[in-house]
Amino acid sequence: MGNVKFEKIKRPENIKLPYMLDFYPLEDEKNTRISQFFKNLKEGRLTTTKCKECSELLWPPRVVCSGCLSNKLEWIDLGVEGELYAFTEMRAGAPLGFVQDLPFCIGMVKIGGLLISARIDDAKYEDLKIGEKVKLKIMEIEDGRVFYRFQRIS
């Protein structure tokens, strides 16, 4: 067996965060037809699409109404204050990319006629109450993208 060659090989030590582990949406016009949502968010406005034909409020923002299939949609403001419908705290089992944030609160927030999921910042589980008012907060990601969370008012 003396003529069999052994060679050590190396794998890259660092790999750029792959798209599948980047949970934040790609938000510019080149990647999505709802880039207006993120432009509005950059102005501190939480908005979504509403159907001009059947008045259905759609979440997440859509390009076609899932109520009547119309593509005549308009952007409407949901406001910046919501009410906490339910909440929990992630204490273990967070996905890669969020592990460094543990523990953190997640909730379902009633806002503008919708019930949406969101991170609830600056709060411990023990401090929060069902029905409590929460306020919109904008997260700026280092590459210029934005996303929303909520925080306590009191």
Partner 1 sequence: MRKVAIVGGGATTCGKREATWRELVQEAGKAMFDNIENISPKDVEALLVGAAQPERFVFQVHVAPMVAECLGVTPRKVIATTELMCASGQAAIRYAWACVASGMADVAVAFGVEKMFMPDMAEAQTNMTCVLDREWDGVNAMSAPPFFAMTAQRHMHEFGTTKEQMALVSVKNHHYSTMNPIAQFQKEVAVEKVLQSPMVSPPLNLFDCSGITDGAAGVVLVPAEDAKKYTDNPMYIIGSGQASIGNAVNNLASITEWVPLKMAIKEAWRTAKISVSEIDIAELHDCFTISEIMEYEAFGWCEKGKGGKFIEDGESYIGGKIAVNPRGGLLGCGHPLGATAILQSIDILQQFRGDVPKGRHVKDAKTAVAHNLSGAANVHSLIVYSRG
Q: Which residues bind partner 1 (CB under 8 A)?
A: 21, 23-25, 59-60, 85-99, 104, 106-108, 114-119, 125, 130, 147, 149
Tokens of 87: 């909440």
Comparing CA positions, the residue from 119, 124, 114 lying closest to residue 136 is: 119
CB of 81 closer than 8 Å to CB of 112: no
- Least Cβ distance, residue 53 to partner 1 (angstroms): 19
Query: Quick one: 52 or 129, whose CB is closer to partner 1?
Result: 129
Tokens of 95: 């996905």
Query: Quick one: 54 or 130, whose CB is closer to partner 1?
Result: 130
Query: Quick one: 23 or 54, whose CB is closer to partner 1?
Result: 23
CB of 105 closer than 8 Å to CB of 120: yes
- Least Cβ distance, residue 147 to partner 1 (angstroms): 7
- Least Cβ distance, residue 150 to partner 1 (angstroms): 10
Beta bridge partners of 136: 150
- Least Cβ distance, residue 9 to partner 1 (angstroms): 19
Query: Quick one: 106 or 138, whose CB is closer to partner 1?
Result: 106
Q: How far apart are the first and last CA of the chain?
A: 75
Query: Quick one: 76 or 114, whose CB is closer to partner 1?
Result: 114
Cα–Cα dist 49/44, whole Å = 17
Task: Identify the three-state secondary structure at position 71.
Answer: coil
- Least Cβ distance, residue 85 to partner 1 (angstroms): 8
